[in-house]
Structure formats: C-alpha cells, structure tokens
Amino acid sequence: MNSHQSRDIAILGGTFDPIHLGHIIPAQQIIGWMSISELILLPAHIPPHKSRPLTPSNVRVEMVELVCQQHDNIACDTRELSRNKPSYTIDTLKEFRQEYPAHRLFFLIGMDSLISFTTWFEWQNILKLCHIVVSTRPGYDKDTLSEETKQLLEQRQVSLESLGKEKSGKIIMAPPCEYDISSTMVREYIAQQKTVEQYLTPEVAKYINAHQLYNPINKSNSEVNARQKKC
C-alpha cells in the first residue's frame, strides 16, 4: 500500500437488504479505478429516504460480513446500527472525519441518489467533509437531472485527473457500470420463486436460502423472528 492509497477511504452506505453484486462489483471497479485501497460498507439502520428494511439489522450485517470475508480490502462498519434514529449521512461523515483527519473520504452513491442529493439533510455540509463519487449507468443523460443538480455539477464536478489533493467538496462521475441490479428486484424474484444466484455472491445466496429470507411463505418463520434482536 502506497502513501497515496493509505490516505484515501471509500464509503458505501445502504440498507443492503440484501447485499448483491450490484453493490459489490461497481464499488470494486470504482476503487480500482481511483487506486483506493479500502472500501467500507455502511449498513443503515433507519434510512431517512426509504421505508424501514424488511430484514433485521443483524441479519443484514451477517450478509455484509459474508461479502467482507471474501475481500481483503472491504470492511463492514456498523456504527449507524447503534443509533435509534434515522441514519443521516452528515452525522456519520462527521465521525469519520474526526477519526481520519488526514484521509480523503470518498462517499459512493448511485445515480438515483445524485438525483435526490440536494434534498438530503445538510447536503451542503456533506460536501465539506468528503468527495462524492457517482456510480453511473450506460446511457446516463445529464438532461434528466433537475436544474439544481445541474448547477451543483457545474460548480463541483471534476475529473479524477484534476481532483488534486483537496479532502472534500468535489463530485466525480465514475465510468459506467453494467450491473443494474436492485435489492427490491432480488427480493421480488425470491418472493416469485425465481432464481437469484446470478445476482448474489455464493455465500449470500446460500445464507438467504438457509434462512428462507424474503420468502412470503416463511414470513413468520420462527428462526427469522428469533433474529429480530437489537444488533
């Protein structure tokens, strides 16, 4: 690990309900492209922009940990699960900035999050704490963005080559990734008894099958209910 890499950390938040290749592969591509040595997966407890996760937090963490065990450069951070309130990004990034004052922090988001970014709680202050890296999709069209988001990009977007050594404040568009997968789609496929192994790591697929997660027939499964303890 060189000195440049040791001062860069990428953070990917989400409910991970469940974690799938659409989370893992684009994130791995981005940190490889940016020469970042560490990716932190940040499971959310109560995401402010989404409904509550279907699956208990400790079950979602176990799935994330299964992924981390297969990658030396990925770690799971559970700090948001200890809060009995919505997981605001600004609160988490303040903690990371205090813990890693010398590091550049890169917060990874998808195009859907970029579209709503200017509605996030204290979004202006988020950019004072980190850089934003957007995972784009093929056919990405800037014209579909709101005027406020377009203005934000005009002011903040830079190329990776021109980023410099600043620790925060910029937005970078990552190269397009073909993995257009959502957790909602995976859950719906499981409920419809469709195969989902191609969207998951083998370890996560085996875990979901063993615990009969997302199967409406087994919603009252005693084993799942027994897991609904505080993480």
Question: Is residue 129 in a domain?
Answer: yes
CATH of the domain at 36: 3.40.50.620
Per-residue pLDDT at 118: 94
Low-confidence ranges of the chain (pLDDT < 50): 1-5, 220-231
Q: Taking the CA atoms of 186, 190, 193 and 197 in sequence, report the sign of the dihedral they define.
A: positive
Domain total in the chain: 1
* Structural domain contains residue 227: no
For every residue of 64-121, DSSP letters joined together read HHHHHTT-TTEEE--GGGG-SS---HHHHHHHHHHH-TTSEEEEEEEHHHHHHGGGST
One-letter amino acid for residue 73 of the chain: N
Cβ burial, residue 12 (10 Å; 0-12/13-18/19+):
buried
The answer to the question of residue 57 being in a domain is yes
Query: Is 116 within a domain?
Result: yes
Residue range of the domain that includes 69: 3-180
pLDDT tens per residue, range 146-166: 899 999 999 999 999 999 889
d(CA 166, CA 159) in angstroms, rounded, equals 13
DSSP-derived secondary structure letter, 200: S
Q: What percentage of the chain carries pLDDT values higher than 90? A: 72
> Over the chain, what is the mean pLDDT?
88
228 lies in some domain: no
Residue 172, domain member (yes or no): yes
Residue 142 lies in a domain: yes
68 belongs to a structural domain: yes
